[in-house]
Structure 1
Amino acid sequence: MVRSLFGTDGVRGRANTAPMTAEMAMRIGMAAGQVFRRGAHRNRAVIGKDTRLSGYMLEQALTAGFLSVGVDVFLLGPIPTPAVGFLTRSMRADVGVMISASHNPYEDNGIKLFGPDGFKLSDAVESRIQALVMSPSNMTLADAAAIGRAKRLDDVQGRYIEAVKASAPRGLDLSDLKVVVDCANGAAYRVAPTVLSELGAEVVRVGVSPDGFNINGNCGSTHPGVLQEQVVAHHAHIGICLDGDADRVIMVAENGQVIDGDQLMATIADQWMQAGRLSGGGVVATVMSNLGLERYLDARKLRLVRTQVGDRYVLERMRADGYNLGGEQSGHIIMTDHATTGDGLMAALQALAALIQTGKPASELFRAFEPVPQLLKNVRVDDATAALDSAPVARAIASGEARLGKSGRILVRKSGTEPLIRVMAEGDDSDLVRSVVDEIIEALPRQAA
């Protein structure tokens, strides 16, 4: 089956436009409930969301879908994505749902699904759910007496806060640090400042006033400019920049320098290796991670294992081969000793622990390697598949690879979350990298007006 409904991170689209409609959400709830309905116990689903206006609509629709097939629903309210994974497993739920479009603007929304083990679903399970969604006649409604019940839980934020603090090194004391945290007006607007404050940090709060429309609006991990200004203005030691559902983190050093996921993985890997905590002999990352990270790890006799783009593909490789650290340049940091998916807040605590342990300023500690010049540009086209299969694009890519030689890389791919083609190249010569990217973009067919 062609996986047309699910992208690299669940189902995503513009709210109230297919596939992000109330009808589709209800069908996804029905299908997921049927796939995960098991045993003689009362089956249960947990549903969390970020702060988008459309979250109310999708939450109610998903709830109706689950209830109609006999699955009880526990509503978590605004909570980070990793908290849903944690609570799915902790509460012995049969399935977990997060309503979020992550770093996208408020107009978008998405549905991410977790299995009873708290991990995101495999392609095979998503295909089973999609098959039911597309053929609703194959779904079985519960008898009147077996319809599910819905209940809103009030203590979920406290449970997650304690789990996050428990992931930090024992005795972690942040009382000597001033930290600016940007919660992107998203799902972590309460829990992130609370965790940092309870561990002793002096906390400056940014992006903690969600109104349904301002999530990721000129704030959060894809817009770190405000955080950079605030870190410098407040003379803070470091800044923490989460995205709308807090499964990714970008940090900012005391001088305003941005610290991406590659630099965080390099530093955490080095700290864990020295402490004998790093499993698998390396780190798992995607094809987007900088060549500089690969060289840094190689110099320490550590491997960088690359996967296709998508944090769940990173996680699948980690679980298959015994790695406990992986992630993406964009800030998804996965630590399987502590969480079932990327957790921006947990990753931030590991970084803060390294900052305290080494006594180095963030601008030095998190500049573990000099990044190889890398350029990424996004292009909108009418038909991404046809564009990538076109002869002019193939020739441009081949030409670019020949020009870069062994000292660089090219990656041209469809976005799994937006209608875009992403063109990336990296190499030691920044001018050459720019020329290669521009040549490929020029070969792409233009989007119709």
Structure 2
Amino acid sequence: MRKLFGTDGIRAVAGEAPLDHKTIYAVGAALAHQLKTHGDRPTLILGMDTRESSTWIAAVIAQGLQDGGAAVVSAGVITTPAVAYLARKHGFAAGIVISASHNPWQDNGIKVFGGDGYKLPDETELRIEDEIFRQLESATTPAEWNTEPPAVDLQYRTEYEDFLRAAVPGLSLDGLHVVLDCANGAASAIAPELFAHLGGTIHLTHTSPDGRNINANCGALHPSIVAAETASLKADIGVTFDGDADRALFADAEGRVVNGDAIMLLAARDMKARELLAGNMVVATTMSNMGLEAALRRDEIKMLRAAVGDKYVLEMMRRHDAALGGEQSGHILFPHLATTGDGLLTALVVLDIVRRSGMSLAELIADLKVFPQVIVNVRVKEKKPLEQFVTVMDTISAAERELDGNGRVVVRYSGTEALARVMIEAESEERMRHHAERIAEAIRSELGA
């Protein structure tokens, strides 16, 4: 059972355990020790988002890495997928990202990629966790903490932008009006320069991070913001990223939000037409809507479901040699292009499909019939196995029996927050909300914070 790593690294309130100085230092020292197989002095690349805590966390983890015998280079403020790309391109022992993705500014996190550009498998994270706890028990705390992170080499950002352009060659946005919401996060450092060379009319929003406005009423957590802006400006398409830009959501010209399910549908159709969709297969998650499955089936495309978390989607994709996968939340995986979800890359791919098809975003997904779906979040004291609670399991079973064949029930813990998520999908909205609230109330009575 992992104690530090969630589905997307270590995440907490900055300055509080496990993101206090001592634990962050231990993470760096533990990583350095685990990576000694890459040589006597393994080199890691470090990137961060725009939170005010990212700078001091980067300084402390670099201190732990260096004291543990590793070398560190920094790409500065840059997206999570950029670090994955750079780690692989340059053969670094690992890549580290200081970010809490879509969380508010008070939170932060540590994500680790292997030298191959992929997120670490669970068994590797468990080994690192054990090493971190050993470091915490035995290591001597430094007399003083580093306050300055490693010097930034801006060449890394340029290399990543060059990669994005090369991934979708020949893309021109001439004649298109695009709204981009950068969430006051890492995309703010890249999107303006990247899209400036693609033509078209580009309207940038939320590109002025101040350390505390990341994800604040903007970005992928609030897709209605870019949707309203797109409609107001009479633009053709809107794109919104989360804080570290590893995912993207969209808006059509009418101001309707277009989520990851719809993006997987239009990408799958395009890839199948170009004979790029290996096995005519898409890997989604348990949270993807039944409507996506039905639409793909009409095109004779099979949909597999993985556990929630883009790392689990990718693991299933690699097992089945799938060429496309993703999450409703906007993590879209194109393994022939990148090793992890990349919001900026997804934006370019979707814009390229729109241009080549000659159709609008709305037209490309017009036949996607979405089943009513509700997600109720319940804050919990601790994440005990739900199987231990008879009332909870009985309530879930009753909902599954009643919805059999006409809906789905998914109840799981968040991988990054102290939440239980209750997702119900059904043809009847009344039944959907009834069962969601009953299950949520059962969880509150047993585990509620």
TM-score normalised over the length of structure 2: 0.94
Corresponding residue for 1:10?
9
Corresponding residue for 1:77?
76
Structure 1: runs of 5 or more not aligned? 142-148
The CA distance in 2 between the partners of 1:305 and 1:448, in whole Å, is: 33
**What per-residue deviation string (whole Å, max 9, x for no partner) do you get for residues 332-387 of structure 1?**
00111111100011111111111112222222223451111111110112233165
The CA distance in 1 between the partners of 2:172 and 2:441, in whole Å, is: 53
The CA distance in 1 between the partners of 2:361 and 2:192, in whole Å, is: 20
The CA distance in 2 between the partners of 1:227 and 1:302, in whole Å, is: 31
Corresponding residue for 1:246?
245
Within a 5 Å distance, the mapping from 1:296-307 to structure 2 comes to: 296-307=295-306
Corresponding residue for 1:159?
159
Provide closer, same or farther for how the CA distance between residues 441 and 46 of structure 1 changes in structure 2, counting only shifts above 3 A.
Answer: same
Corresponding residue for 1:50?
49
Once the two structures are TM-superposed, the CA of residue 280 in structure 1 deviates from its matched residue by 3.2
Asked whether the equivalents of residues 410 and 422 of structure 2 are also in contact (C-alpha less than 8 Å), the reply is yes
- The letter for the 2-side match of 1:398 is S
Matched residue count: 440
Once the two structures are TM-superposed, the CA of residue 225 in structure 1 deviates from its matched residue by 2.6
TM-score normalised over the length of structure 1: 0.94
Within a 5 Å distance, the mapping from 1:228-267 to structure 2 comes to: 228-267=227-266
Corresponding residue for 1:128?
127
The CA distance in 2 between the partners of 1:223 and 1:277, in whole Å, is: 32
The CA distance in 2 between the partners of 1:357 and 1:247, in whole Å, is: 24
- The letter for the 1-side match of 2:102 is H
- The letter for the 1-side match of 2:131 is L
RMSD: 1.8
The CA distance in 1 between the partners of 2:38 and 2:223, in whole Å, is: 47
The CA distance in 1 between the partners of 2:191 and 2:381, in whole Å, is: 40
Q: Provide the secondary structure at the position in 1 that maps to 2:294.
A: helix
Within a 5 Å distance, the mapping from 1:350-389 to structure 2 comes to: 350-385=349-384, 389=388
Q: Does 1:432 pair with 2:431?
A: yes
Corresponding residue for 1:445?
444
Corresponding residue for 2:403?
404
Asked whether the equivalents of residues 386 and 393 of structure 2 are also in contact (C-alpha less than 8 Å), the reply is no
Q: Does 1:171 pair with 2:186?
A: no
**What per-residue deviation string (whole Å, max 9, x for no partner) do you get for residues 83-120 of structure 1?**
00001111210011011110010011111000010110
Once the two structures are TM-superposed, the CA of residue 389 in structure 1 deviates from its matched residue by 2.7
Asked whether the equivalents of residues 79 and 157 of structure 1 are also in contact (C-alpha less than 8 Å), the reply is yes
Once the two structures are TM-superposed, the CA of residue 3 in structure 1 deviates from its matched residue by 0.7
Structure 2: runs of 5 or more not aligned? 141-148
Provide closer, same or farther for how the CA distance between residues 121 and 407 of structure 1 changes in structure 2, counting only shifts above 3 A.
Answer: same
Corresponding residue for 1:420?
419
Q: Provide the secondary structure at the position in 2 that maps to 1:7.
A: coil
Within a 5 Å distance, the mapping from 1:133-152 to structure 2 comes to: 133-136=132-135, 150-152=150-152
Once the two structures are TM-superposed, the CA of residue 41 in structure 1 deviates from its matched residue by 6.1
Asked whether the equivalents of residues 414 and 421 of structure 1 are also in contact (C-alpha less than 8 Å), the reply is yes
Once the two structures are TM-superposed, the CA of residue 150 in structure 1 deviates from its matched residue by 4.9
Once the two structures are TM-superposed, the CA of residue 140 in structure 1 deviates from its matched residue by 9.3
The CA distance in 1 between the partners of 2:90 and 2:385, in whole Å, is: 45
Asked whether the equivalents of residues 77 and 189 of structure 2 are also in contact (C-alpha less than 8 Å), the reply is no
Corresponding residue for 1:144?
none
**What per-residue deviation string (whole Å, max 9, x for no partner) do you get for residues 38-94 of structure 1?**
244641011100000110111001100110111110011110000000011112100
**What per-residue deviation string (whole Å, max 9, x for no partner) do you get for residues 157-189 of structure 1?**
211111111111x32211111111000000010
Asked whether the equivalents of residues 8 and 310 of structure 1 are also in contact (C-alpha less than 8 Å), the reply is yes
* Identical pairs, percent: 39
Select between 380-389 and 232-241 the one with higher mean Cα deviation. 380-389
**What per-residue deviation string (whole Å, max 9, x for no partner) do you get for residues 176-214 of structure 1?**
111110000000103112222211131101110000000
Q: Provide the secondary structure at the position in 2 that maps to 1:445.
A: helix
Once the two structures are TM-superposed, the CA of residue 391 in structure 1 deviates from its matched residue by 1.1
- The letter for the 2-side match of 1:69 is G
Q: Provide the secondary structure at the position in 1 that maps to 2:317.
A: helix
